[in-house]
């Protein structure tokens, strides 16, 4: 069983790499962004609340996010492992995840994708033009990057202290990034890939 977290700034390729890792390790990828968008599209109470924050480029509050993640990690398809994408983003979410996993489970690997902020801004502006995402204009992108640096880097430090963090450069052709990711995961832990 593999329990992983992929973390990195907006636009670093987390979603793409999560899909590839999920297929390679045969574990379910759980993206909080996808969960949020599904709730927004479905018009759920949590989705309506989450949309206000997403449109402003802010993190969805822990109270909403934690409920969604707890429910998702309780589903049957995660029994053989999972790959979290986008959660935890704050140290309080790390503590909440520790409580969820307190049944003798813990994360095996935390993978951080790294990238230059200016490269990410250009990447996300390009993605916004292609997909029409309302939450990807330059001001919102820069705000999200600032939030990442202010809040999420403390999460990275926490997992580094536990000895389960590995960093990978997220810039370059997708296949090359994937190859770097798989090498990094296998060198940190004997994960069957």
186 belongs to an annotated ligand binding site: no
Of the residues 20, 51, 123, 144, only one is catalytic, namely 144
Does 127 qualify as catalytic in the annotation? yes
Which sign, positive or negative, has the C-alpha torsion 64, 166, 113, 23?
negative
3 is in an annotated binding site: no
| Catalytic residue, candidates 133, 158, 167, 180 | 133
Residue 103 annotated as catalytic: no
Q: Is 183 annotated as a binding residue?
A: no
Q: Is 144 annotated as a binding residue?
A: yes
- Tokens coding 146: 């600032």
Whether 72 is catalytic is no
R_g (Cα) of the chain, nearest Å: 16
Q: Is 78 annotated as a binding residue?
A: no
Q: Is 17 labelled as part of a ligand binding site?
A: no
Q: Annotated binding residue at 61?
A: no
| Active-site residue, 89 included | yes
Residues 6+ apart with CB under 8 A from 168: 111, 112, 113, 114, 177, 180, 181, 184
11 labeled part of a ligand binding site: yes
**93 annotated among ligand-binding-site residues:** yes
Q: Answer yes or no: is 77 a known binding residue.
A: no
* Residue 144 is a catalytic residue: yes
**Residue ranges for the binding site for ATP?**
11-16, 127, 172
* Catalytic residue IDs: 14, 89, 127, 133, 144
**Residue ranges for the binding site for AMP?**
32, 37, 58-60, 86-89, 93, 133, 144
**Residue ranges for the binding site?**
11-16, 32, 37, 58-60, 86-89, 93, 127, 133, 144, 172
């Amino acid at each position: 069983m593999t329990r992983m977290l992929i973390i990195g700034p907006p636009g670093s390729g987390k979603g793409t790499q999560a899909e590839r890792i999920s297929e390679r390790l045969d574990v379910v990828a759980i993206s909080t962004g996808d969960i949020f968008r599904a709730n927004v599209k479905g018009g759920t109470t949590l989705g309506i609340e989450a949309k206000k924050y997403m449109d402003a480029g802010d993190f969805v509050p822990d109270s909403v996010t934690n409920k969604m993640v707890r429910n998702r990690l309780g589903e049957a398809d995660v029994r053989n492992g999972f790959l979290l994408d986008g959660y935890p983003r704050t140290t309080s979410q790390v503590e909440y995840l520790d409580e969820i996993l307190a049944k003798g489970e813990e994360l095996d690997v935390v993978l951080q994708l790294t990238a230059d902020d200016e490269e990410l801004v250009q990447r996300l502006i390009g993605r916004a033009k292609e997909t029409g995402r309302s939450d990807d204009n330059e001001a919102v992108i820069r705000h999200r990057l600032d939030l990442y640096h202010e809040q999420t880097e403390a999460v990275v430090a926490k997992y580094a202290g536990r000895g389960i963090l590995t960093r990978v450069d997220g810039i370059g052709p997708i296949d090359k990034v994937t190859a770097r990711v798989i090498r990094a995961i296998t060198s940190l832990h004997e994960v069957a890939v």
